[in-house]
Structure 1
Amino acid sequence: MSGARQPVLEARIESFRFDGSRHPILHGSHLQLEPGTLNVIVGASGSGKSTLGAVLAGMLPRPGLDLLHGQLRLDGQQIDHRDGQGPRIDLAVWARHVALLPQEVGQYLSGIRETVAEELAFGLENIGVARAQMRTRVRSVARQFGIEPLLERAPERLSGGQQRLVALAALSIGEPQVLVLDEPLAGLDALAAERVRQVILELRTQGRAVVVLSRLPDALTGQADASFRLQDGTLWPVTVWPASVPPAITEWPAIEDPATLLAFDHVSAGYPQQSAAVLEDFSLRLVAGECLGLAGANGSGKSTVLKTAAGLLPPRGGTVESCEDIGLLLQNPADQLFERTVRREVSFGLPRGSLHRQRVERVLDELGLSELAETHPYELPVSARRLLALATVLVREPRVLLLDEPTEALDEHGLERLHRVIERRLAAGGAVLFSSHDESFMRRTAHRVVRLAAAPGRSVTRQQFGDL
C-alpha cells in the first residue's frame, strides 16, 4: 500500500478475548486501511477472521462482556480500550463509515422487506435520503451488481447466492468508507463471482477501503494491495502465496447391480407462493454407491431438486421415487440448529439408550466436534456450525445423503472431513447428491454432474466426472 495517504481506519489489537474465554482469539495485530485499497486476510476456519471483522465494524467488544486491549482510529478519531473499558460505540454512526457483510448473509438482510428493491432502500430510508434520489441509487446499484431482474422478488425466496448478491448491494448502497466482506464469493456461481470481483475492484477505484476475509486464497488475493494470513490469532503480512495443489481425483469403488435409491421422472416443482415452476420436466436417477453433483447458476433450481428429493416440496407434475432413509443438509446451517449445546443438538429426537449415545459420540468425533460438545451452537464459527448441521443429519444414518452447498465456509480440514463422510456413505451402500459451485470439490468427489441450465429447470446436461 502507498504510505502517502492517511489511513481511514487503523486497528491495533493487543488482545481480544470473548466473555468466558480463557485465551485471546486475537492478539499482536496491526491493520492500517488506506482509501482506495483492497486488503485480503486469509485464515483457516476458526482462526478469528469473523471476529476481526466484527471488531473493525464496531460490533465487538460487547460492552461489559468481552475484553479488548488496543486502539481503533476511524477518520482521525481514536478509541482506546483497556481492561474492558472503552467508550460505547454508536453503531448507527459507525456503520455509516464501516460496513460489515457477515459470512451468513441472512444476518444482514432485514427480514421485514417484501421485495429486493425495498431491501436495498432500507438503509437509505434510515438516513433520510429523498425518495427520488433513493430510487435512482437503488436502480444504479442493482445494475452494478446485475440484480435488476430480482428487484421485485421477495428476498427470502431467492437462492443463497442471490441473497449474497443482494446483501452486498445493500451494504454498498450507503457508500461507507470501509467495507468488510466476510467470504464475499461464497455460494456464487462463476458469473456472479466474477461480477462481485469486478464490483470490489470498482469500489477500490472509487476510493473505498475494502477488506476481504477468506478461508483460502482466491481470485482477489492476487489483486490485493495488501495481503495477510491470520494464524494463531496474529496477522502476518504475505507477499507471495504458495501455489495451490489440486486434490487428487477419487476413484470410488463400483457396486455391482446397484439399486436405484432416488429417481425423478419428468418432474416439475416449485414453491407454494410462486406460480411459476422452478423445475420443469426434470429427470434424474441416483443409484447405490454413487455420488452425483448438481451444478448451475444461482437460482437455477439446485436447492429445489434437493428439497423435492427430501419430500419438503411435493412435485407439481411427474413422479419422485426414493428410499425411506433420506437426510438433507440445508444450505443455511441456522435453519437446522436450535438446541443449547452441540451434544444436545446432535442427540435431539434420538431414543434414549447406549447404542444411540455411542452413535452421537462417534459422529461428533468424525466431524471434529467432540471438544465442542458442551458449546452453544451459535458460539461456534460458521464452519463448525455447518459441520454440526451435518452431524445432525449423519447421526440418523440416512442411506441417501442430500447436501446443499456443503463446502461453504469449510477450510482444507473441513473439506477433508466432508470427503471422508461421503466416502463412508458410499462404502456402506448409500448414495450422495450434492449441489456446489466449488468445481474443485466437484471434480474430486462426484462420479458425474448434472448441470441445470441458466433458465430454471428448462434443461439439464449430464457429464461424466472426467468431462468436467
Structure 2
Amino acid sequence: MTQRGQSANQAYAAQLRHVSFSYDASSWALNDISLDIRSGEWVCITGPNGSGKSTLSKVIAGLSAPDDGVVTLLGNIVFDAQGAHAAQYRSARRDIGAVFQNPEDQIVTTVIEDDVVFGPENLGFSRRDMAQAISDSLHSVGLESMRFADPTHISGGQQQRVAIAGAMAMHPRMVVLDEITAMLDPEAREDVMRILSAWHAQGVTIVHVTHLAQEVQLAQRVIRMDHGRIIANDVARHRTDSFEKSNNAPPVEEQSLEETTLWYASESEHITDLNGTARNTTREWAIAIDCVTYRYPHSQQAVLDNYPLFVAQGQTVALMGRNGSGKTTLARLISALDSPDEGSITVAGIPVSSRRNASLFGTRKPKPANSRQRKALRRSVGYVMQHPERQLFAETVAQDVAYGPRNQGLAEDEIAKRVDEALSLLHIQDLAQRSPFDLSGGQQRLVAIAGVIACHPQVLILDEPTANLDAHAKQRIINMLTHLHKQGVTILMITHDVEEAHSLADRIEIMPDSKDSYADGDDDSNGINGTADIVDNLTDATGNTTQNQFSTDSPSHETPRAANVSVSRHALQYASRPSVEHIDVNNQSMSLQSPKVNASVRSSLLSSFDPRILLVVTIIAMFSAFTISNAAQLMVAGTLVVAAACAGRIRVGELVRATHGFLVLFIFTGLLNIFFVRTGSILVQWGPLILTTGGIAASVLYICRFALVIILGAIVMNATTPIAVTDACESLMSPLRNFGIHTQDIALVMSLSVRFLPTLSSEARAIADAQASRGGSIESGSPLQRIRALGAIVVPVFAGTLRHADNLSLALDARSYESGIQRAHWRVMSVRRRDMALIACAALYIVALCAAALF
C-alpha cells in the first residue's frame, strides 16, 4: 500500500477498498464496497431509494469518512486502517466539486455572484481568475443576468444552477453530482447535461447519481446499488457522446419535450369557454381560476399575470413549464395558502378568492375565503408540497397520516381504516410506527402523499410528486393516481416528466414564462420561442397526432387518457418570448435561457460607500439617537434619516414593510411610559393612573428614539448586502487576530446566520401550511388551539435546523472552507474621497446634535 502522504496511482480519481459506513451502528448504509473510478471517466450510480447512492457519493467527494476500509481520492489516501487523515482530505477536496440533491442547503450567501466565488476565494484564486470564474460559470448555466440577485428568492431549479456554477468556478478535476436535475425542467436539464458533456470533454471525472435512464446513457460505466452493496458494475451498453444523441438511445425513462407533439385544443374553443357562458356555470369546474395576478412581496414584477386555468371535475391535468414560471405559486393560491393580487379562484365550488368592486382609490385586492369556507376547502382539497420533509410533523408515520382525518372529526375506527388504506395504497405499511424524520427522502415523500390521501380529497394538487424517486416508488404513485382518477378525484399535478404527464393526464397545461405578460403574448403561426415551443413539440406515445377530447359539453373524458391527451391553446396564445443566448463552452454550442431578475440591492449613493465606513457611521448615528432629549435634536436626527433614505433610494412602502413590526412594538411600549412617568404637571388622573406632561414627553421621546434607530438601520441594510456587512465586520475586527480570535470564522457565522434564518422561518411557515392544508387548528381554531398547534411545529423545525446545519457543514467542506485559512477576497474594500466626505458629514451631524441640545 502507498504510504500516507505519498502519491497513489494518478490513473484513478477514486479508489475504494472494502469500504463500510453506518449511520446508527445497527445497519450498514455501505457494506464492503470496492470500486475504482479512472481519471476522466464518466460514471453513473443508480439504484432504488435508500440503497446507499448518496452515502457513496459523499464518500467519493471526500465529505464523509467511512467506518472501515481504504479510500484514495485523487492520489491522496484519505482513510485507511489508521483512520481519517485530515490533511489528505483537505488536499483532495481542493480538486473535487460536489453538488447535492437540495441546492438550498449549499448556497451560503445572499448574492449569487458572491456564492459562486466563495469556493475560489477559499482556494486563493487571484481577483482576475475569480472574475473569469464567475463570468464563465454563470455564462455556462445561463444566469449572467441574475449575478446580483438573491439566490434565496429564486426557484429551486434556478438554485440548482447556482450550485452547479459554484462547483464549476472551482475548476475541479472530479465532480460528484447527487440527482442534480430532479427539480429542473426538461430544457434546463438538457442544458445541464450539455455542460457536463463539455466538462467531461476537458478531462474532468464525473460521478453522477441519477434515476433517469436518459442521463445514464451518457455514462461510460453504470454502477447499480441495492441495500448498501454494488450489485452491478458494467460498461454502459448504449453509451452516447452527446445529450442530443442520447435522446434516441433506448431505453429512455423520460422523453424530451422537443421530441413529443400533442394535439392542442383550438383557440376558438378555449377562448369561448373562458369568456363565454362557462364562467356563469362554475359548478362544473373543479378548479376555476379567472385572470389571476400575483406578485411576490417586495417585487414589482408579476409571477402570474392575468392567468386563466379551468379544470373539469374528475379530470387529471399536468401542469408543466420552466423553472420559475409560477407553478408552485399557483398551487399555493389554489390551496388558499397565498392570496392573489387580482382575479378570482373557485375550487370545488368554494370561493377561495373573489373579486371586489373597484374603490375610489383603484382596484381592490380580491376577498379571501372566510373561516367557514376555509374549513370546507380543507375537507375538499388535498395539497402535496414540493418538499415532503417540510410536510411531516408527528412522532410516527401513522400519527402523521391520521392528522387530517382526525381534524375532520371522524371516529377513531374510521381514522384507523383510512390510515391503513393510505399506507397500503402506497405499499408503506411497514413504516407505520417509524419516525418520519428517520426516513429517506423518497420514503418521506410517500408518507406525505399518504397523509393527504387519507383525507379523501375531491381535488388533489401535487407538486412534483415523483421527483428524486426510483422507478418502483414512482410507479406506486402512478398507480395510486390512476386509482384515484377512476374514483373521480380531480388531480392537478405539477411535473417536469413528460412521460409521466403523458401516461396520467387528460390535459397538459403549459405555464408561460413569468417575466412576460400572458395578455401581451402573440400567437405566431410560424413558431413561438420559449414556452410555446413546448406546446408545438408535444407528441403522443405512439407518434400519432391525437384528437381533442376536452370540451365543456363533455367533461367526463371516458376515452383512454394515453391516447387522448390535449394541451390548452392558451399556452400558445399567451406564450412568452424569453431571451435566448447562444454561448460556447469549450467549443460546444448551446442555447440557454437567461431570465432577468432585479438585483438584490438597488444601486444608490448609499450603496457606493465603503461598507466599513458606512457601518461605523451608522452605528455612531444609531447610538447618538439615545442622547436626544429635545425637539430640536429630533429635527436634526429626522433630517439625517430623510437624507439617508434619499441617498439609499428606498421607497416609503418598502421602509414601512421592513419596520412596521418593530414600530408597533415600540409605540406600544412607549405609550406605557405615559402612565409610569409622573414628572411635570398633572393633566388627568383616573384613580391610580396619572397623566402628566412629563409622561407624554417621555413617551414621545422613547418612541422617536427607537423609531429613528430602526428606520436608519433598515435604510442602511436595504442599501447594502449581508455579505458586505460581514466583510466589513471581519475587517474592523481584524486587530483581534493578534489575540488569537478567529475573526474570519465569526464573520462567516454572521453571514450564514443572515442567510439561513429566513430559511428556517420559511420552513416553519411550510409546516404551518401543511397543518392548515389538512384542516389543522393553526388556521381556524381558537387562540388556545392555535397555540397548541404552534407547539407541534417546534420538533420538526428543530429537526430541520439540525438537517440544515449538517448539510451546511458538508457544503463548506465541499467549497474547501477551512477554519483559520487565509482566504482571498473578491470584494476589495478601499476608502475613497466619497467615504471621507461621509465621515465629514457624520462629524457635522454630531456637532449639530450637540448644538441642538443647547435649545
Q: TM-score, length-normalised on structure 1? A: 0.86
Matched pairs, number = 445
CA contact (8 A) 2:326 2:514 kept: no
Matches within 5 A, 1:46-445: 46-61=50-65, 68-81=67-80, 86-87=83-84, 89=86, 94-110=92-108, 113-218=109-214, 220-232=215-227, 233-239=229-235, 240=237, 243-244=250-251, 259-323=284-348, 324=377, 325-348=380-403, 350-351=406-407, 353-445=412-504
Question: For residue 224 of structure 2, what is the amino acid of its counterpart?
Answer: R
Question: Alpha-carbon deviations, 1:6-63, whole Å to 9, x = none?
Answer: 11221223433331433x33334332223322111221222211111122123334xx
CA contact (8 A) 1:295 1:435 kept: yes
Superposition deviation, residue 319 in structure 1:
0.7
CA contact (8 A) 2:112 2:162 kept: yes
Match of 1:34 in 2: 38
CA distance in structure 2 between the aligned counterparts of 1:375 and 1:203, rounded to whole angstroms: 42
CA contact (8 A) 2:508 2:565 kept: no
Superposition deviation, residue 406 in structure 1:
1.4
Question: Alpha-carbon deviations, 1:162-181, whole Å to 9, x = none?
Answer: 12111111122222222111
CA contact (8 A) 2:157 2:185 kept: yes
CA contact (8 A) 1:293 1:434 kept: yes
- 3-state DSSP class of the match of 1:18? coil
CA distance in structure 2 between the aligned counterparts of 1:188 and 1:88, rounded to whole angstroms: 37
Moved over 4 A (4+): 88-94, 460-465
- 3-state DSSP class of the match of 1:280? strand
CA distance in structure 1 between the aligned counterparts of 2:166 and 2:434, rounded to whole angstroms: 33
Question: For residue 383 of structure 2, what is the amino acid of its counterpart?
Answer: L
* Residues 1:389 and 1:107: Cα distance change in structure 2 (over 3 Å): farther
Match of 1:458 among 517, 524, 546: 517
Superposition deviation, residue 283 in structure 1:
0.8
Question: For residue 387 of structure 1, what is the amino acid of its counterpart?
Answer: L
CA distance in structure 2 between the aligned counterparts of 1:273 and 1:104, rounded to whole angstroms: 25
Q: Which is worse superposed, 230-239 or 193-202?
A: 230-239
CA contact (8 A) 2:505 2:565 kept: no
Superposition deviation, residue 382 in structure 1:
2.0
* Residues 1:235 and 1:424: Cα distance change in structure 2 (over 3 Å): closer
Question: For residue 69 of structure 2, what is the amino acid of its counterpart?
Answer: G
CA contact (8 A) 1:58 1:89 kept: no
Question: Alpha-carbon deviations, 1:242-281, whole Å to 9, x = none?
Answer: 943879xxxxxxxxx9832211001111212322111111
CA distance in structure 2 between the aligned counterparts of 1:139 and 1:108, rounded to whole angstroms: 20
Match of 2:263 in 1: none
CA distance in structure 1 between the aligned counterparts of 2:80 and 2:74, rounded to whole angstroms: 17
Question: For residue 213 of structure 2, what is the amino acid of its counterpart?
Answer: P
CA contact (8 A) 1:15 1:27 kept: yes
Structure showing greater Rg: 2
Higher fraction of helix: 2
Question: For residue 244 of structure 1, what is the amino acid of its counterpart?
Answer: P
CA contact (8 A) 1:295 1:450 kept: yes
- 3-state DSSP class of the match of 1:238? strand
- 3-state DSSP class of the match of 1:434? strand
CA contact (8 A) 2:45 2:210 kept: yes
CA distance in structure 1 between the aligned counterparts of 2:292 and 2:516, rounded to whole angstroms: 10
* Residues 1:14 and 1:150: Cα distance change in structure 2 (over 3 Å): same
* Residues 1:140 and 1:453: Cα distance change in structure 2 (over 3 Å): same
Task: Give percent identity, aligned residues only.
Answer: 28
CA distance in structure 2 between the aligned counterparts of 1:467 and 1:191, rounded to whole angstroms: 21
Question: Alpha-carbon deviations, 1:392-440, whole Å to 9, x = none?
Answer: 3223222211111112112222122212322333333321111111000
Higher relative contact order structure (alpha carbons within 8 Å, sequence separation ≥ 6):
1
Higher fraction of strand: 1
Q: Give the CA RMSD over aligned residues.
A: 2.8
Superposition deviation, residue 118 in structure 1:
2.3
Superposition deviation, residue 187 in structure 1:
2.0
CA contact (8 A) 2:20 2:67 kept: yes
Structure 1 residues not aligned, in runs of 5+ = 62-66, 248-256
Superposition deviation, residue 384 in structure 1:
1.4
Q: Which is worse superposed, 320-329 or 440-449?
A: 320-329
Superposition deviation, residue 305 in structure 1:
1.4
CA contact (8 A) 1:13 1:69 kept: yes
* Residues 1:161 and 1:53: Cα distance change in structure 2 (over 3 Å): same
Superposition deviation, residue 89 in structure 1:
4.3
CA distance in structure 2 between the aligned counterparts of 1:328 and 1:88, rounded to whole angstroms: 47
* Residues 1:340 and 1:135: Cα distance change in structure 2 (over 3 Å): farther
Q: Which is worse superposed, 431-440 or 449-458?
A: 449-458
Question: For residue 391 of structure 2, what is the amino acid of its counterpart?
Answer: Q
